Structure 1
Amino acid sequence: MTERVIVTVGIEFYGQQPARDLLERAGLECIRRSGSPGWPDDETREYITGMQGILAGAEFLNASTMDHTNDMRVIARNGVGFDRVDLDYCTERGIIVTNTPGSMADAVADLTFALLLAAVRHVVAGNENVKAGGVYDVPIGEDLASLTLGLVGCGHIGAETVRRARAFKMPVLVEDPWVDPQRIRDLGAKPVDRSRLLAEADVISLHLPLTDESANFVDAGFLSAMKPGSWLLNTARGGLVDEDALIDALTSGHLAGAGLDCQATEPPEGRTKDLVALENVVALPHCASKTATARKAMSIAAAQSIVEVLGGQEPEFVVNRDVLKKLDLQPRT
């Protein structure tokens, strides 16, 4: 029987047809369906029925959406984040979950600096002034070389962000206990603990995954310890930030501003809507990876993981590595 894969991301719309070709060359039946973060669980349950693999977008994949199917073997996230996938449940069921680290690193690092420049040089305000025919001016900004950048997290995206910061002549501090300090030094940055990061960085940029442990990582205590007049950047996940606390820090003047590619509620509702409406916030619609190059690389990497798992081989990027103990897959060489 031909194994079936459901694709819920827009492969055709970003020059990503090679990913679909890869699946079909492996003899897999590729079924296309566009997804969105707002899909109800009953629709998700319906479209994954009878599937052995899913090239997954933003849908929730957990017990409530998957308990009816015994066929699923691999969930390949088209991206780095996996906060919408219940890893414990998948591990228990023997379902491999993969992601695509590195494939979007350049795109996200680029957008991190787009947000940084927009925030510290008041790009949005200047654009609006010119278009409105108003005052031909903007508030005074800052040279990037005069600012110290602090990163929380130094994986693929964090490392590329450091490289860009060094090109802008910015000193860089990094907090990441999981990365060898020498690797951080080799990038041209300085490994530090959190207290020093918060006290010395003029800009703090988040580059860590959203998990149960990291939810509201940036809380009132974190924000109050940040340097007065500093900026916060988030191109990772909205759930990392306590938005009530961030609103307080921005409206009180403790923080100069924020650049947010992601929010707790997308599209914005409630307090998220209040946050993105602030004049000192630059907000984007979770589009950091939305370049043709990144999306193509992401989808090909995800498709390759599916081909490997359904072909009996261990894939390269397994998120729930404990599941491998339950499966008889050919190890990677």
Structure 2
Amino acid sequence: MSFTFDHVTLGQRVLFGTGAAADNAVAAVEELGARRILLVHDAFAVALADAIAERAPVVRRIDEIVQHVPVENAERATAVAAAADVDAIVAIGGGSVTGLAKAVALRTGAPIVAIPTTFAGSEATDVWGMTKGQRKTTGVDPRVLPKVVVYDAALSAGLPTTLAVASGLNAVAHAVDGFWAPRADPINRALGTEGLRALFPGLRGLIADPGDLDAREQTLYGAYLAAVAFASAGSGLHHKICHTLGGAYNLPHAETHAIVLPYVTAFNAPFAPDAAERIQELLGVPNAAAGLDALRAELGAPASLAAIGLKESDIRRAAELALPAVPPSNPRPVTVSDLEGIMRAAWVGEQIV
């Protein structure tokens, strides 16, 4: 076998320890030499935020978090950071919290210490995203890659199980979409495969027993590997569709990914046999798309885009908005009609066989 590829591995420190979030966060801040910290957190993370603020030089806190990071919120947070002359950002929460911290880092250059409380994976990427009006814009910049990630499986225990599952399926989407993304290569395919190998049993264990910390650790580990693969491979067809739906129609991020993934897989899999075989082997099924849809149902994630608020009348326009963002390298050519078909099947929750 002959390999030819150009792979970039992003530099980042990862501190992984259940029950050690506060200690590891303080150690990370001290290593950075930070003296004026902006603490960004959501409502699920108040206790941890308070514990860190008692031990680290926090000068300002932001807890107004909106999904998809509206530009207006990013500008307000940046103004707060600039006025306080912050030299580091500690972000505690899900993907929306990390996204807001990235927006500030993009403008100020302040390093981020990310403490995820979900399985979103944004903490492992140099991808930023913001929404203005009905359009979500994403980009890649080394300034937004967190310098340190602090993982603590206990932090996700307070999440509603439905949200935890949707977040985990979002992580699955990072790995799967990375199999055919623009910069897919053997290294990130290997990372994505290993990520799925941890995610599938981890998510099933989490559903069987929400208090199973071993399952949460496995899911968190898999989510990190999947995100690293995604950061290297780039955004594929699945993410371009979901970013369009989230930005234009304010659909919940994780749930949108959980619903759409099987339908994108059904579209691409016949033209990406290696990706299909990896998914099939790990799930123990003969059909990758049907297997992912069955997993979604088994885990109790939403079944359709209609169920999370998309109107049928919006489908055609959403397809038109998404088309310019579709990577030319997608294994199968994509038209507006194709996108409309994918979205309509996901809107109905059409069974995949």
Query: TM-score, structure 2 length as denominator?
Result: 0.36
TM-score by length of 1: 0.37
Give 1 or 2: higher helix fraction. Answer: 2
Q: Which has the larger radius of gyration?
A: 1
